C-alpha cells in the first residue's frame, strides 16, 4: 500500500519511522514538503522518496496522509482534490481542529476521509490516536487507517466530532498535564532538599513506571491507587492534601475548558 505524506514535519516523521520499524517498505512511502532541507533530512534519515510537489507525491498513492499545519490544510486539500476525485483514495488528516466536513468540502464528495488525533508521545511510538471516519469510509479503509496510525502507538475509534473535542482535551493536551505534574514533583523534591538532577530522575521515572503499571496491570487506576495507599501512611497524607484542594474537580474543569476551546477553534465549516 503506497502512502503519500503531505508535509514532512514531526508527526509525519514519527509515522514514517514507526511504519519502517514495522517492516513497511521504504519504496512505498513518499513525502512532499516545500523545504529542501526538510526533504534532504527525511531522505537521509529514512531512505524514502521526497518531492516539493503535492500532486506528484499523491499521484500513485493509495493513501494520502495530510500532515500540514492546520492553517495550511485548506490550500493543500484543494490542491489534491483533483487527484482524490480521479480515483478513490483514503485520506487521513492528522491536523488538529480540522473537521471532517471541512475536509470533504475541500477534497470533494468522493473523498474517503479519516480524521486522526495523535498526541505528542506518538513521536517516539508511545502515543495514542483517536480516529473518526466519514460515513463513506469502508471497513477495509478503516482497517488501513488504523494500521498506519498504530505505527505510533495505541488507537481508538470514536463516533463524533464532539467526542474528538473531548479527545483533544484529554489525550491531545493531556501530555502537558503530566509534564506539569512531573515538574511540580521535581520542584517539591528540590524544596525538600534533593539535588535537582535526583529530583528530576525520581519524578520522571515514577511517572514512567506508574503509566506502565496502569497500562499493563489490567487493574483500574483507582485500585492501583488504593494498593499504594496505606491507612494513616505517607501516601494517604499526600492524597488528603490533594483531595482537600479538589484536585479531581480542577482536572475536570481543565479538561472541559480544553474541550470547549477545541470546539471554538474549529468554528463553522468554511467555504
What are the sequence ranges of the domains in the chain? 3-168, 174-265
Question: Which pLDDT score is estimated for 268?
Answer: 61
Band the pLDDT of 172: cuts 50, 70, 90. Answer: very high
Q: Which CATH architecture has domain 3-168?
A: 3-Layer(aba) Sandwich (3.40)
Q: What is the pTM of this model?
A: 0.90
Write out pLDDT tens, residues 255-270: 999 999 999 988 765 5
Task: Name the average pLDDT for the chain.
Answer: 94
Does domain 174-265 sit in CATH 3.40.1350.10? no
SS3 readout for the chain: CCEEEECCCHHHHHHHHHHHHCCCCHHHEEEECCCHHHHHHHHHHHCCEEECCHHHHHCCCCEEEECCCHHHHHHHHHHHHHHHHHCCCEEEECCCCCCHHHHHHHHCCCCEEEEEECCHHHHHCCEEEEEEECCCCCHHHHHHHHHHHHHHEEEEECCCHHHHHHHHHHHHCHHHHHHHHHHHHHHHHHHCCCCHHHHHHHHHHHHHHHHHHHHHCCCCHHHHHHHHCCCCCHHHHHHHHHHHCCHHHHHHHHHHHHHHHHHHHHCCCCC
Write out pLDDT tens, residues 14-51: 999 999 999 999 999 999 999 999 999 999 999 999 99
The answer, yes or no, to whether residue 154 has pLDDT greater than 80, is yes
Write out pLDDT tens, residues 107-153: 998 889 999 999 999 999 999 999 999 999 999 999 999 999 999 99
What is the percent of the chain with per-residue pLDDT over 70, rounded to a whole number?
A: 99
Amino acid at each position: 500500500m503506497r502512502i503519500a505524506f503531505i508535509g514532512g514535519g514531526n508527526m509525519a516523521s514519527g509515522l514514517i519511522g514507526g511504519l519502517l520499524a514495522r517492516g513497511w517498505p521504504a519504496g512505498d512511502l513518499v513525502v512532499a514538503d516545500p523545504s529542501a532541507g526538510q526533504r534532504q533530512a527525511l531522505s537521509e534519515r529514512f531512505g524514502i522518496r521526497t518531492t516539493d510537489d503535492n500532486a506528484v507525491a499523491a499521484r500513485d498513492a493509495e493513501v494520502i496522509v495530510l500532515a500540514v499545519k492546520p492553517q495550511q490544510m485548506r490550500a493543500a486539500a484543494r490542491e489534491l482534490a483533483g487527484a482524490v476525485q480521479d480515483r478513490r483514495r483514503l485520506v487521513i488528516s492528522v491536523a488538529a481542529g480540522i473537521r471532517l466536513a471541512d475536509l470533504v468540502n475541500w477534497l470533494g464528495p468522493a473523498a474517503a476521509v479519516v480524521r486522526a488525533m495523535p498526541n505528542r508521545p506518538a513521536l517516539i511510538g508511545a502515543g495514542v490516536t483517536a480516529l473518526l471516519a466519514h460515513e463513506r469510509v469502508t471497513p477495509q479503509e478503516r482497517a488501513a487507517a488504523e494500521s498506519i496510525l498504530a505505527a505510533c502507538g495505541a488507537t481508538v475509534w470514536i463516533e463524533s466530532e464532539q467526542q474528538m473535542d473531548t479527545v483533544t482535551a484529554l489525550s491531545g493536551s493531556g501530555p502537558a498535564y503530566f509534564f506539569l505534574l512531573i515538574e511540580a514533583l521535581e520542584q517539591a523534591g528540590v524544596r525538600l532538599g534533593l539535588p535537582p538532577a535526583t529530583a528530576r530522575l525520581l519524578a520522571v521515572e515514577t511517572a514512567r513506571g506508574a503509566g506502565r503499571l496502569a497500562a499493563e496491570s489490567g487493574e483500574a487506576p483507582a485500585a492501583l491507587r488504593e494498593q499504594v495507599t496505606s491507612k494513616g501512611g505517607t501516601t494517604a497524607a499526600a492524597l488528603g492534601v490533594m483531595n482537600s484542594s479538589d484536585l479531581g474537580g480542577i482536572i475536570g474543569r481543565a479538561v472541559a475548558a480544553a474541550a470547549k476551546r477545541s470546539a471554538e477553534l474549529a468554528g463553522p465549516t468554511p467555504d
